[in-house]
Amino acid sequence: MTCFDEAPMTSGYARYLAAKTTVDDRALNRHVLAGLRRLMPAGAPRVLEVGAGLGTMVARLMDWGVVGLGEYILLDADRQLLDCSRRWLCDWAAARGLRSGPLPDGLRVGDLRVRLVHAELGRYLEAAHGPLADVLIANAVLDLVDVPAVLPGLLRLLVPGGVYWFTINYDGESIFAPGHPSDDRVMRAYHRDMDERFRYGRPAGESRTGRRLFHYLRAAGVPALAAGSSDWVVSADPDGNYPGDEAYFLRSILGTIENALRSRQDQVEPADLADWLAVRGRQLAAGELVYIAHQLDFVGRSPD
Ligand SMILES: C[S@@+](CC[C@H](N)C(=O)[O-])C[C@H]1O[C@@H](n2cnc3c(N)ncnc32)[C@H](O)[C@@H]1O
């Protein structure tokens, strides 16, 4: 039995995050990743990942030899997703012949203590919390929060000279190919929804977070030491099959756009949206749909 069978409430989102793994694997900027490797503290660092979801990043960083010892904290507002992550990481470890086992507040994976923290980021930053982190990670998350409001508090979670790695930050450009006459209107409305949405009672992200992070990081006194693009590029193989579970990933992206535009009928006529979705659905089924999303990665340090 997998986590997806056990937690039907969040299974769709958990499956989306699992399906996203191979897309992120290709996208993460290797120049910025090399910067993280250079800055990574020796020994057994404490890593905090905010908005960690299923925990696919800790698995990736173990696979890529970036982490292995110490403590890795997965913080997320979605408790069911964290419950899923316990099982997902156990399954992942078993598939690699790594030992894993439960801990009171998480699990051991190989030589790494993985702790699960259920918290909304804004509230977590306002409250008192434990020891500072050596490394702070946010993957596909900063475009979901009010970065200027959140960044100073986030950086206070780091030890002096601590490292941040902020990756897969959406930057205002989604391309679906082949083109459709409603593409521009659909994307304009989708970006407007991103710019105006509220979650947890707070503004929740910007469609141009990626490019704005250059300035936000500088203004916070932690300019990026390396930056680069981490575009998602998803297409089918010559036989029309998408890699891994990436057809599901694409269906989820189309579903997200559909949900966002449901309340934006003043910007895209329901019939136009329905046609756009139907055409995209058929292209996906035929293995013809190509999806590209422009994103940016950053690595840097807090002052000593
Ligand atoms: C797009 S998912 C990315 C998950 C994971 N980092 C990954 O790349 O697979 C965004 C995650 O951030 C979490 N999240 C969004 N807003 C949050 C907030 N204000 N506080 C804590 N977690 C949040 C969501 O629950 C979700 O798991």
Q: DSSP letter string over 145-214? A: S-HHHHHHHHHTTEEEEEEEEEEEEEEEEEEEES--TTHHHHHHHHHHHHHH-EETTEE---TTHHHHHH
Q: What percent of the chain is predicted at pLDDT more than 70?
A: 96
3-class DSSP assignment, residue 135: strand
Q: Which of 144, 165, 198 to mutate to test the pocket of ligand 1 (most atoms within 8 A of CB)?
A: 144
pLDDT for 130 equals 79
pLDDT for 273 equals 96
pLDDT for 143 equals 97
d(Cα 194, Cα 213) in Å, to the nearest integer? 16
* 3-172+201-233+294-301 is a CATH 2.140.10.10 domain: no
pLDDT tens for 71-110 read 999 999 999 999 999 999 999 999 999 999 999 999 999 9
81 lines ligand 1 (CB under 6 A): yes
pLDDT tens for 184-206 read 999 999 999 999 989 888 889 99
d(Cα 170, Cα 178) in Å, to the nearest integer? 21
Mean pLDDT, to the nearest integer, of 144-161? 96
17 lines ligand 1 (CB under 6 A): yes
Specify which residues 290 forms β-bridges with.
177
Minimal-distance CA residue to ligand 1 atom 12? 51
Whether 50 has a pLDDT exceeding 60, the answer reads yes
The per-residue DSSP string of 54-105 comes to T-HHHHHHHHTTS--SEEEEEEES-HHHHHHHHHHHHHHHHHTT--EEEETT
102 contacts 15 by C-beta, under 8 angstroms: no
State the pLDDT confidence band at 248, using cuts at 50, 70 and 90: very high
Give residue 51 CA to ligand 1 midpoint distance, Å. 3
The residue extents of the domains of the chain are 3-172+201-233+294-301
Q: Kindly state the DSSP code that residue 140 receives in the 8-state scheme.
A: S
pTM > 0.85: yes
